[in-house]
Amino acid sequence: MMEKALEELRVLDLSTGLTGLLITKYLADHGAEVVWIESRAHLDICRTNAPFREGKVHPDYAAQATTALTSRYSFGLNMSKPGSKEVIQRLVEWGDIVVQSFRPGVLKEWGIAYEQISRLKPELIMLSISIYGLTGPRAGTPGWGQKTQGFQGLPYFTGWSDLPGVSVPLAFSDVSTPWLGLCALMAAVDYRRRTGRGQHIDFAQIEAALHFIPGHYLLDYFVNGRESERKENRCDYACPHGVYPCRGDDRWCAITVFCDQEWEALCCAMGDPSWAKQEKFCTLRGRKAHEEELDVHIGEWTRKFSPEEVMGQLQASGVACGVVQNCEDLMDSDPQLKYRQYWWKLSRPGLGECVHPAWPVRLTETPCELRATPCFGEDTGYVCREFLKMSEQEINSLREQDVLEFGY
C-alpha cells in the first residue's frame, strides 16, 4: 500500500448538501479519516435525490450519495436527543478539522462554535460554509445552490437572447465552488503545519460562485456601463462558434474558429465549398455580420457525418472541435477517459457494482483510493469503538436512548 497524501488528518464533517460533502470527499479519497454525521430525523438531500438504483427509493440507493460520499464513515446521530451534544463534543476533540454548513448560532448552542473550541484546542481548523458568509446584512439567511445561481447572475447569462434567462438544472455552485473552499482548507493545514495554530475559514458560496461569471462581462459594465446580453452559443471574438447538428438522433458537435487561418482550415476540411468563398465570409467581421447564414451552411455539412467523424476531420486540420457527448459516450466510448482510467467500479453489499468518477488530479507518490459509499449509519459502532473509545455498555445505552442510529 502506498502512502496517502492526507492519511494523518481527522475530519468531522457536519456539512449538508454537495459543497461540503465534495470537499470532504477529496480529503477522504486521499486518505483522511472523515466521519460524516447524518440522521434519520433529517436525511441529507444526497440521500433523498433521485435517481435511485433500480428505482428503489431508499437512502442507500440514491445515485448522488453513491458518487459523493465515498471513502468516509457514516455516523448516525440524532442531535435532537439529550446526550448527543456530548458525543459531538467528543468527536470535535478527536478531529483536526471540522467542516460545517449550519446556520450561524447552531454550533454555539451545541458548545462547539469555533470561538468556544479554539480556546481549548487552538490547533483546530474549522471550515464554515454558507450561502452569504457569516457577516453582513444577509448573513444567516438559509438557502441552497439553486438560490445562489440567481444572486450569482448565472440565469441572466444563460439561455436564448429572445427569452427569459434560465438556471441550469443542477445547483451549479455546489459543484463549481468546493475547490475554492478546498484550497483555503489546504492552506490552513499548511499554516498549522508551520505554526501549530488552526484557523476559522468563512466560506461564502455566493462570492466563490462569482468567479465563474465571465470576467469581461463584469469589466465591460464597470468600465463602459454596458450590460452584457445573453450570447446563446455565440462569442464576440470567434465565428463560427456554436453547436452543429450531425448524423444520428440528437447528435451534435461544437466548432470554434478564432482567426482567418483557422477559417481557411475549416473551409479546406469542408471541401472548399463555393459559398465559403463569398467576400462576406472572408473576415471575422463579415462572418459575425452573417452568422445565422453561416451556421446554416456549416450545419448542412456536419449533418453528413457523425459527430466523431466531424471532430476527427477538423481536429486533424487544426480547428477546435469536440463531440457533444451524452452519458453513453462518456462512459462507454470516450478513448481519453478509458486510457486515463477515469471510471472506477466499486461494489457494496446490497447495491452491487457501481461506476464512480475518479479525480482529474493524479498524485504519483500518494494516489487517491476510493472506497464505496457506506450505507446510512453503517460505521456508527466502529467510530464509537475505535475513534471515541466507548465501551459496549455506553454504546448500547446511547442506542437505547435513540441518540445513536445504526442503519436505516
For residue 1, what pLDDT is reported?
A: 61
3-state helix, strand, coil in the chain (%, to 5): 45, 15, 40
Confirm if 207 and 133 have CB atoms less than 8 A apart: yes
Each of the 408 residues of the chain gets a pLDDT tens digit; together they read 678 999 999 999 999 989 999 999 999 999 999 999 999 999 999 999 999 998 999 999 999 999 999 999 999 999 999 999 999 999 999 999 999 998 878 888 888 999 999 998 999 999 999 988 999 998 878 777 777 888 888 888 888 888 888 887 778 888 888 999 999 999 999 999 999 999 999 999 999 988 888 788 888 999 999 988 888 899 989 999 999 999 999 999 999 999 999 999 999 999 999 999 999 999 999 999 999 999 999 999 999 999 999 999 999 999 999 999 999 999 999 999 999 999 999 998 888 899 999 899 999 999 999 999 999 999 999 999 999 999 999 999 999 999 999 987
For residue 140, what pLDDT is reported?
A: 76
Q: Where are the domains of the chain?
A: 10-211+340-405, 241-333
Query: Position of cell 446521530?
Result: 77
- The whole-angstrom separation of Cα 301 and Cα 400 is 70
> Other CB atoms closer than 10 Å to residue 229's CB: what's the count?
10
Please state the φ and ψ torsions of residue 210, each to the nearest 5 degrees: -60, -20
pTM for the complete prediction? 0.91
Q: Give the Cα-Cα-Cα angle 311, 160, 220 (nearest 5 degrees).
A: 95
Tell which residue, 233, 213, 297, 232, has the closest CA to residue 263: 297
Please state the φ and ψ torsions of residue 21, each to the nearest 5 degrees: -70, -30
**Topology (CATH) of 10-211+340-405:** Rossmann fold (3.40.50)
Query: Position of cell 486521499?
Result: 30
Distances (CA, A) of 317 to 14, 262, 266, 283, 313: 52, 8, 7, 19, 6
DSSP state of 359: -
DSSP state of 406: -
CATH number for the domain running over 241-333: 3.30.1540.10
DSSP-assigned beta bridge partners for residue 337: none
Coil, helix or strand for 65? helix
Distance, first Cα to last Cα, the chain: 33
